[in-house]
C-alpha cells in the first residue's frame, strides 16, 4: 500500500483546522435539520393556487381554491401550479442560502 494511507482516524486534538471543520460540520447538520422544519409558501393566480415547501425543498402541500376550478381549464391550472411550485422552490432556496451561507463563508479554504 502507498505511504500515508491507512493511518487510522485523524485526531483533532493537535490539529486546530480539523477541530474547526468538525465544529462547522456539526453547525451545518443543525442548520439542515432546522431547514427541514421551516416552511415557505408561494401563490399564483391571485392566490388561487398555493404551494408550501420546506426549507430543504420538499413539497409539503398544494392548495387549489375550489372557486378557481369552476372556470379554469386544465392547461391554465397546470401553468399556475407550475408557477407556484417554482416560486416556492425559489423561496426555499433563498431560505437555504440565508441559513447555510454564513456557514460556508467560514470555510478555511
Domain count, the chain: 1
In a domain, 73, yes or no: yes
Helix (H, G, I), strand (E, B) or coil at 106: coil
Quick one: pLDDT at residue 53? 93
What is the residue-averaged pLDDT of the chain?
Answer: 83
Contacting residues for 47 by C-beta, under 8 A, at least 6 apart = 65
Question: Is 82 within a domain?
Answer: yes
Q: Report whether 107 contacts 21 (CB < 8 A).
A: no
Say yes or no to pLDDT of 62 above 80: yes
CB 101 within 8 A of CB 35: no
Is 57 a residue whose pLDDT tops 70? yes
Q: Give the residue-averaged pLDDT of 86-91.
A: 95
Answer whether residue 95 is part of any domain: yes
- 57 or 89, greater pLDDT: 89
Q: Quote the domain boundaries for residue 50.
A: 40-100
What local confidence, expressed as pLDDT, does residue 69 receive? 86
User: Is 28 within a domain?
Assistant: no
46 falls within a domain: yes
Which string of DSSP letters, residue by residue, matches 24-50? Answer: HHHHHHHHHHHHHH-EEEEEETTTTEE
Q: Which residue's entry shows cell 451545518?
A: 28
Question: Is residue 62 assigned to a domain?
Answer: yes
For the ranges 7-11, 71-75, 97-101, the lowest mean pLDDT is seen at 7-11
User: What is the CATH number for 74?
Assistant: 3.30.1310.10
Q: What is the pLDDT of residue 89?
A: 95
Amino acid at each position: 500500500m502507498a505511504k500515508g494511507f491507512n493511518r487510522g482516524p485523524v485526531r483533532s486534538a493537535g490539529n486546530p483546522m480539523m477541530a474547526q471543520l468538525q465544529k462547522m460540520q456539526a453547525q451545518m447538520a443543525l442548520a439542515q435539520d432546522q431547514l427541514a422544519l421551516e416552511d415557505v409558501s408561494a401563490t399564483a393566480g391571485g392566490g388561487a393556487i398555493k404551494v408550501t415547501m420546506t426549507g430543504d425543498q420538499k413539497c409539503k402541500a398544494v392548495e387549489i381554491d375550489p372557486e378557481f376550478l369552476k372556470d379554469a381549464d386544465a392547461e391554465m391550472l397546470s401553468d399556475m401550479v407550475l408557477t407556484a411550485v417554482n416560486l416556492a422552490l425559489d423561496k426555499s432556496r433563498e431560505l437555504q442560502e440565508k441559513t447555510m451561507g454564513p456557514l460556508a463563508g467560514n470555510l478555511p479554504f
